[in-house]
Structure 1
Amino acid sequence: MELTQATVNDLLARLGPGDGHMYLPDDLDPQVLTDLLDGRYGAPRTLVLDGFTDPAVDESGGAALLAPFEGRAVKIRAWAYGDQWVGTGTARDAGGVERPVLVVAHREVPEPLAVAPDEDVDWMERLKGITGWTQHARRPDMDWTEVESRLGTALPSDYKCMVETFGEGAFDGYLDLNQEPWPGLREDGLLSWAGTEHEDLYCWRADGDDPDRWPVVVLSFDGEYVPFDCRAAEFVCRILIDPHHRFTMARYFDTHWFMNYREGD
């Protein structure tokens, strides 16, 4: 069976939008299918390896993908994509033969809570809730001392927490999180911490000695300078869920996720 992205589309369409699974032809290379899904959804999470299920896997981490195989899964990799889990690998069929599989399951994503004007919000926790993030920190050992020394400035704590938590990748596969800011974009003290495939740049105006008070500025693809009175994590939360935000992503996605570009250890 020759695999292409079009073939993958056809297979996923056969499974439908709900829960479903299928055993694939024996001549299909499971790694090729994994690579195609990796290119589409980002780095996967390993749920089962050599027949052993990761003990940390629960309903918020894709456990529903394993239910159809009733303990017969041999190797399953999983991706979170909107309101769906997608998994592939191998599992034993009813006769005990190990075969390639493709499986999908519904994914519950916590609804964001409304924010009262005087509420003290932990925007990083809100961001993890919005994206359904349950994985371990991807880059907990970032050497911020070296980065800040090279840049010549301290950096906002919520941004550093985003990088440590999510690592290299993009929110909704669209908003790329810079692993360190890009300096020198303009002469007005802007540092870019993220960008989109539409070439909008999300920056800080580095005013003052306290980086946790730096406001966000958007340099749009057409050169417009748009300031926002908030920090980076709050800005990401709001563009993900507020359909009225100037740079909203809520019009394109009903649920949200973070696409990893590299698989964690």
Structure 2
Amino acid sequence: MELTQSTISDLLTRLGPGPRHLRLPGDLDPQDLVDLLGDRFGAPRTLVLDGFTDPTVEESGGAALLVPFAGRAVTIRAWAYGDQWVGAGTARDTEGVERPVLVVAHRKVPQPLAVAPGEDVDWLERLRRITGWTGPARRPDADWAEIESRLGTALPSDYKRMVETFGDGAFDGYLGLFQEPWADRGEGGLLVWAGTEHEDQYCWRADGDDPDRWPVLVRSFDGDDLVFDCRTAEFVCRILVDPHHPYTMARYFDTHWFMGYGTGD
């Protein structure tokens, strides 16, 4: 079997929404399978390594992917994608032979409760819940003092928590979170902290001494600007789940996730 992205698409179509799994030919390199899925879905989470299951794995972290193997999984990597878990690696069959496997399972992420008027909300924790994020902090040692010194300004605290928590990647594989904002040289005071594949820029206008009070400004690819009087993490939460938001992603996905780039945990 020659592994290509087209082959992967065909295999996932055969599996459907799951839960189902396929045992693949023994001469297939399981690392090639993992690499191709990583190119498509981002950095994976390791559920099983050398026969040892991560003890922190639970339903919200892809545990359903391990059910078909009844303790015989050798190495399983997992990806969250919309309402689906995708897993790949190796497992022993009933005769003890280790073979490459591909597995899918349903992924359910509970939606957060509605926000009451005037309620004090931790929007970063809300964002973790919306995306079902269970991984460890990706950039807990980010040197914000050095970054802020280089930019000449402090940065919003919830943005820094987002970067520390999620690291390099994109919400719903679409809204890319920049690990360091950059200044728009065409207009003073504008810092760009995220962007989309449609070339929309998500910014702050750095007015005032308190960055936690900076509103979010969206500059679309055609140059139009819209300003939203909310903080960064709240803005991301709202575009993920509010179908009436001008930049909503809720029209396209019922379940949301964060696609991490780079090395998986």
- TM-score when normalising by structure 2: 0.98
Q: Shift of the alpha carbon at 1:225?
A: 1.2
| Corresponding position of 1:258 | 258
Q: Distance in 1 between matches of 2:264 and 2:18?
A: 28
Q: Distance in 2 between matches of 1:13 and 1:177?
A: 30
**Residue pair 1:191, 1:204 contacting (<8 A) in 2 also:** yes
Q: Shift of the alpha carbon at 1:264?
A: 4.3
State the Cα RMSD in Å: 0.9
- In structure 2, give the amino acid aligned to 1:29: D
Runs of 4+, deviation exceeding 2 Å: 184-188
Of stretches 182-191 and 245-254 in structure 1, the one that deviates more from structure 2 is: 182-191
| Corresponding position of 2:90 | 90
Name stretches of at least 5 consecutive residues in structure 1 with no aligned partner.
none
**Residue pair 1:45, 1:263 contacting (<8 A) in 2 also:** no
Q: What do the CA deviations read for 1:77-111 (whole angstroms, capped 9, x no partner)?
A: 00001111100000000100000000011111011
Q: Secondary structure at the match of 1:237?
A: helix
| Corresponding position of 2:241 | 241
Q: Secondary structure at the match of 2:247?
A: coil
Q: Secondary structure at the match of 1:40?
A: helix
Q: Secondary structure at the match of 1:203?
A: strand
1:131 partnered with 2:136:
no
| Corresponding position of 1:220 | 220
5 Å matches for 1:75-86?
75-86=75-86
5 Å matches for 1:193-232?
193-232=193-232
Q: Shift of the alpha carbon at 1:184?
A: 3.2
**Residue pair 1:46, 1:77 contacting (<8 A) in 2 also:** yes
- In structure 1, give the amino acid aligned to 2:248: T
| Corresponding position of 2:72 | 72
5 Å matches for 1:65-214?
65-214=65-214
Q: What do the CA deviations read for 1:34-75 (whole angstroms, capped 9, x no partner)?
A: 111001100000111111111111111111111110110000
Q: Shift of the alpha carbon at 1:262?
A: 1.6
Q: Shift of the alpha carbon at 1:186?
A: 2.9
- In structure 2, give the amino acid aligned to 1:55: P
User: Identity of aligned pairs, percent?
Assistant: 78
Q: Shift of the alpha carbon at 1:263?
A: 2.3
Q: Shift of the alpha carbon at 1:112?
A: 2.4
| Corresponding position of 1:24 | 24
Q: Secondary structure at the match of 2:6?
A: helix
**Residue pair 1:166, 1:260 contacting (<8 A) in 2 also:** yes
Q: Distance in 2 between matches of 1:124 and 1:141?
A: 18
Q: Distance in 2 between matches of 1:29 and 1:246?
A: 45
Q: Distance in 2 between matches of 1:186 and 1:245?
A: 27
**Residue pair 2:77, 2:87 contacting (<8 A) in 1 also:** yes
Q: Distance in 2 between matches of 1:239 and 1:176?
A: 13
Q: Secondary structure at the match of 1:60?
A: helix
Number of equivalent positions: 265
**Residue pair 1:241, 1:248 contacting (<8 A) in 2 also:** yes
- In structure 2, give the amino acid aligned to 1:40: R
With over 3 angstroms needed to count, the CA separation of the structure-2 counterparts of 1:143 and 1:54, relative to structure 1, is: same
**Residue pair 2:46, 2:264 contacting (<8 A) in 1 also:** no
Q: Distance in 2 between matches of 1:24 and 1:264?
A: 23
Q: Distance in 2 between matches of 1:36 and 1:75?
A: 16
